Amino acid sequence: MARWREAKAVTQQIQFVLGGARSGKSAHAEALAHAHARKDDDDRHRLVYIATAEIFDAEMESRVDLHRQRRGPEWQLVEAPLDLPQAIRDNYDDKTAILVDCLSVWTTNLLIHERDIEQARQTLLDTLREFRGKIVLVASETGLGIVPDNALSRRFRDANGLLNQAVAAAADEVFFIMAGIALRTKPPQ
């Protein structure tokens, strides 16, 4: 915990990448994290990939394998399906670029495991406010479709939308990915 608090002098950069399924959001987020890691040629940063997915079926396993193959061996994998804020704190240092993929899957996990969504969102936001370093967060934009026909899906859509709004407000830079094209919707200040 001391390492977390002592690192306040490090420049914070929070980047948030949103998009639909198979839009290219994860690949764009990986490129952003790699750019952080390469900024100092003499002093390479560690790459940490915090995965929120839980594998429940063969289709999800196939998606996770695709991400693993694309990332390569230089990434350190941390699995955090439920306690994402703690995983961020545990893996933080000023020589690390962290990628979180994906906040929407994390929201799903919280709902499935009947966790307090509002409290989890607040804890994540508090963690991001204290964070000093480089972090890229990925989420699905789920509010562009029709109103879901069941209560659980509506609850997910609402929780995901509220989290996306809050993270976008906290982020220094926000990208919306569409058909593999990144649109910067919030430029750095």
Q: What is the DSSP letter of 137?
A: E
Half-sphere exposure of 111 (CA within 13 A, CB side): 16
Quick: pLDDT tens for 170-182: 999 999 999 999 9
* Banded pLDDT at 17 (limits 50, 70, 90): very high
Chain mean position to CA 151: 25
Average pLDDT of the chain, as a whole number: 88
Check residues 68 and 160 and name the one with the higher pLDDT. 160
**Alpha helical stretches, state H, the chain:** 2-6, 25-37, 58-71, 84-91, 103-112, 117-130, 151-170
Q: Please give the full DSSP string across 36-54, using - where no structure is assigned.
A: HHTS-TTSPPEEEEEE---
Residues with active-site annotation: 67
What gap in Å lies between CA 101 and CA 149, rounded to an integer? 27
Looking at residue 81, what DSSP letter applies? S
Q: How far apart are CA 86 and CA 107, in angstroms?
A: 15
pLDDT of residue 43: 62
CATH superfamily label, 2-186: P-loop containing nucleotide triphosphate hydrolases (3.40.50.300)
Q: Is the pTM of this model over 0.85?
A: yes
What mean pLDDT is predicted for residues 127-146? 92
Q: What is residue 19's predicted lDDT score, i.e. its pLDDT?
A: 96
- Residue 179 CB coordination number (10 Å): 9
20-64 pLDDT, tens per residue?
Answer: 988 999 999 999 998 887 765 556 678 999 999 988 888 888 877
Closest CA to 22 of 112, 137, 141: 141
Strands 181-186 and 173-178: antiparallel
Could you check whether the bond before residue 102 is cis, i.e. omega within 30 degrees of 0? yes
pLDDT of 6 reads 44
Using alpha carbons, select from 105, 99, 27, 36 the residue that is nearest to residue 70.
27
Tens digits of residue pLDDT in 60-95:
888 778 777 777 888 999 999 999 999 999 998 888
Bridge-based pairing of strands 75-79 and 46-51 is parallel
Domain spans in the chain, listed from the N-terminal domain onward: 2-186
Whether the CB-CB separation of 96 and 36 falls below 8 Å is answered with no
